[in-house]
Amino acid sequence: MKRKYRISPGEAVGIVAAQSLGEPGTQMTMRTFHYAGVAEHVPTGLPRVIELVDVRKRPKKPIVDIGLKKELCKDRKKAEEFAYKIEAVSVEEIANVYEVMRDKKIIVEFDRNAAEIYKIDFEMLNKALRFKNKKVEGDKIIIEVKAKKSKDKKRNETKALRRLYNKIKKKVVKGIEGITKAVVVEKDGEYFIRASGDNIKALLKFEEVDPSKIYTNNIKMIEEVFGIEAARNALVRELKQVMDMQGLTVDIRHIMLLADGMCFSGTVKNVGRHGLAGSKASVLARAAFEETIKHLTEAATKGEVDRLMGVSENIIVGKTVPIGTGRVILEYKPEKVKNKKHSKK
């Protein structure tokens, strides 16, 4: 590479990257994206960038792309079968669930017609519902609710009933928890499964799944399962994808720097007060960002020292910022003068 194309030492690449990612924010749309058949209203544009930069535990609409082993990826039928296998079917889809307030019990009524579509029989439902106080009456499973003894028994029982009711409704009878709406998609002559959900931990246990070809838009999940390097790459990929989709060009280096900044500590940190900005070395920089009082009191108790190495701190105390031309001192040595009387800045 030619020297003139190389980055200059001292260049404030962080600020440039932040501006390059932030400035187009005003031009981004707030619209959502539609993954055919898998999920609607998947955030794109600004909301998605904010979601990525915040590193939410779970994105609003998690999507997982499941690559398949050789035997399946060429065969649409087999792929579909597998998609069918992993798709989660919850109790409420194959049974009617009632709560009976008076008797403090929940009735799960097996719906044969609905269950048939999913090829689920009563036994599977029965197995999925593992509770102590369970009674089977024909097609019905009756579960009694007992609340822990406490002062306000009645309220507690109602609460417990409601909690259990919701739990039972969402209980998975078949498939993998969290994986819904699995659809077979073709790309470059190979089939893979796209589903809504992010439970790659469970998916990786299946033989049919090619572990090198599984991907989710949940960065935290990738970090947990595949580690920090994978999370960084996923972050770059997701950010790039959003920008491309909006028709905005941002140099990949800026995105990479952001991702590296978020990941270099070993865990994915968000850019807010509880992440990168909150873990800065300088007390003044942190105080100037958010939670001023908290940072000042904390610094006082620890006897922290601000060594004024960053940008914010030096602006606050009124010194030159140690970035770019602020990092170097200009010296001028007139040729004729022999002694050391050169002048410093």
Partner 1 sequence: MLLHYTPVEEEIKQIKFGLYSPEMVRKMSRAKITVPDTYDDEGYPIDGGLMDQRLGVIDPGLRCKTCGGTSRTCPGHFGHIELVRPVIHVHFAKHIKNILYATCEHCHKVVLTKEGKRPKKCPYCKKELGEIKFVKPTTFYLNNKELMPTEIREMLSKIPDSEVKKLGYDPLTARPEWMVLTVLLVPPVKIRPSITLESGEKSEDDLTHKLVEIIRVNQKLEANIAAGAPQLIIEDLWNLLQYHVTTYFDNETANIPPARHRSGRPLKTLSQRLKGKEGRFRYNLSGKRVNFSARTVISPDPVISINEVGVPYEVAEELTVPIPVTEWNMDEMKELIKRKEYPRALYVIRKDGVRIKITDTSRDKVLEDIGVGWVVERQLKDGDIVLFNRQPSLHRISMMAHIVRVLPGKTFRINPTVTPPYNADFDGDEMNLHALQLEEARAEARELMIVEKQILSPRHGRAIIKPSEDQVTGIYFLTRDDAIFTKEEASKLLYIAGITKLPRPDVDGKFYSGKLIFSLLLPDDINVKYTSKMGEEVVIEKGVLKKGAVDSKGAEHAILEVVFAKHGPEFTKWFLDSLTKMALEALAWRQISVSLKDYVLDMKAKAKIKKLLEDMDREIENLILKFKNKTLERKPGMTLRETLETMIMNITSRTRDATGEIVRESLGKENPSIIMASIGSRGSILNAIQMSAVVGQQAIRNKRPNRGYYKRNLPFFRKGALTAREKGFVYSCFSKGLEVDEFFHHAMAGRESIVNTAIRTARSGYMQRRLINAMQDFIVMEDFTVRDSGGRIIQFIYGGDARDPIFSAIESKEEFDESPREDDVDTASR
Considering only residues 249-278, where is the footprint of partner 1 by CB under 8 A?
249-254, 256-258, 260-262, 264, 271-272, 275-277
| Shortest distance (Å) from residue 19 CB to partner 1 | 4
| Shortest distance (Å) from residue 148 CB to partner 1 | 23
32 - beta bridge partners? 43
Contact between residue 53 and residue 184 where contact means Cβ atoms under 8 Å apart:
no
| Residue 101 burial by Cβ neighbours in a 10 Å radius (0-12, 13-18, 19+) | exposed
Segment interacting with partner 1 (CB under 8 A) among 11-19, 117-125, 139-147, 223-231: 11-19
| Residues 171-200 within binding reach of partner 1 (CB under 8 A) | 181, 183
Q: Does 212 bind partner 1 (CB under 8 A)?
A: no
| Shortest distance (Å) from residue 268 CB to partner 1 | 13
| Residues 108-147 within binding reach of partner 1 (CB under 8 A) | none
- Closer residue to partner 1, CB minimum distance, 37 or 172: 37
Segment interacting with partner 1 (CB under 8 A) among 82-90, 115-123, 161-169, 320-328: 320-328
Instruction: Figure out which of the listed residues 101, 300, 333, 337 binds partner 1, where binding follows CB under 8 A.
Output: 300
CA distance 287 to 259: 24
CA distance 20 to 12: 12
| Residues 17-36 within binding reach of partner 1 (CB under 8 A) | 17-26, 28, 30-32, 36
CA distance 230 to 82: 26
Instruction: Figure out which of the listed residues 101, 307, 333, 337 binds partner 1, where binding follows CB under 8 A.
Output: 307
Q: Does 66 bind partner 1 (CB under 8 A)?
A: no
Instruction: Figure out which of the listed residues 53, 168, 235, 236 binds partner 1, where binding follows CB under 8 A.
Output: 53
Contact between residue 242 and residue 236 where contact means Cβ atoms under 8 Å apart:
no
Instruction: Figure out which of the listed residues 9, 138, 189, 266 binds partner 1, where binding follows CB under 8 A.
Output: 9
Segment interacting with partner 1 (CB under 8 A) among 103-111, 141-149, 165-173, 322-330: 322-330
CA distance 304 to 276: 19
Closest C-alpha to 38, from 95, 83, 77 = 83
Q: Which residues contact 288 (CB under 8 A, 6 or more apart)?
A: 312, 316
Per DSSP, the three-state class of 7 is coil
Backbone Cα Rg of the chain: 29
Q: Does 333 bind partner 1 (CB under 8 A)?
A: no
- Closer residue to partner 1, CB minimum distance, 10 or 227: 10
- Closer residue to partner 1, CB minimum distance, 80 or 157: 80
Segment interacting with partner 1 (CB under 8 A) among 81-89, 97-105, 123-131, 245-253: 245-253
Per DSSP, the three-state class of 327 is helix
Closest C-alpha to 221, from 179, 185, 271 = 179
CA distance 145 to 164: 8
